[in-house]
Amino acid sequence: MLRRQISGALSSVVMVLLLALAGILLPQRVSAQEQSSFFGDTVKQVFLDPTTYAPAAIAYDATMRDWNSSQPFFRYGYYERNERFTITGRPNDIPVSYDVGRNRILTDALMNLELSVVNNVTDRVFERMLMERYPEHRKLVKTLGWIERITFASAMSYYLSAGHYRQNADNLVRAQQMGLR
């Protein structure tokens, strides 16, 4: 059932992304000087940049693995340590339902996506301003922008996911040792 829900959600996301991509790539009015629009270029660059999506996708995967690997423990009466995933909002208490936890994780992923979008839009705007001011250094400006986006995405991905991947691995080992399924 979970796979069907994830598959349906992914289908919806892919559909929205394809429609947005079609809107970006449709021919736009071009001025007499054949210059592209600042807004259109920025949206297209941010939309097509994998550093926009990577932190949210990686954090979602890590958190879902942690959440899924915790479920056998919850079925046997163990408590949740993370207060965001307990009924009372206090640590070491009864966990929320699987669906509530999954929805919180999805909400977190969307907020992380928003942070990446803001970072990448800001980076692209700043990059464009620098290229207009220093046209002789376009390659340097583009390279520095690329480095900034990759660094931000890498750091954010690690910060959001490392602990969850570790907890997932620990949960799997403990569940196997205890014979939980």
- Evaluate if pTM is beyond 0.95: no
Is residue 95 within 8 Å of residue 83, measured between CB atoms? no
Is residue 164 within 8 Å of residue 66, measured between CB atoms? yes
113 vs 7: CA distance, rounded Å: 20
Spatial neighbors of 142 by CB under 8 A, at least 6 apart, are 127, 131
Is residue 60 within 8 Å of residue 106, measured between CB atoms? yes
Cα diameter, the chain: 72
Buried b or exposed e, range 73-91, using 16+ CB within 10 angstroms: bbeeebebebeebbeeeee
Query: What is the model's pLDDT at position 153?
Result: 97
Question: What are 30-52's pLDDT values in tens digits?
Answer: 444 445 688 889 999 999 999 99
Question: What are 2-23's pLDDT values in tens digits?
Answer: 455 444 444 545 544 444 445 4
Asked whether the predicted pLDDT for residue 54 surpasses 90, the reply is yes
Question: What are 83-97's pLDDT values in tens digits?
Answer: 999 999 999 999 999
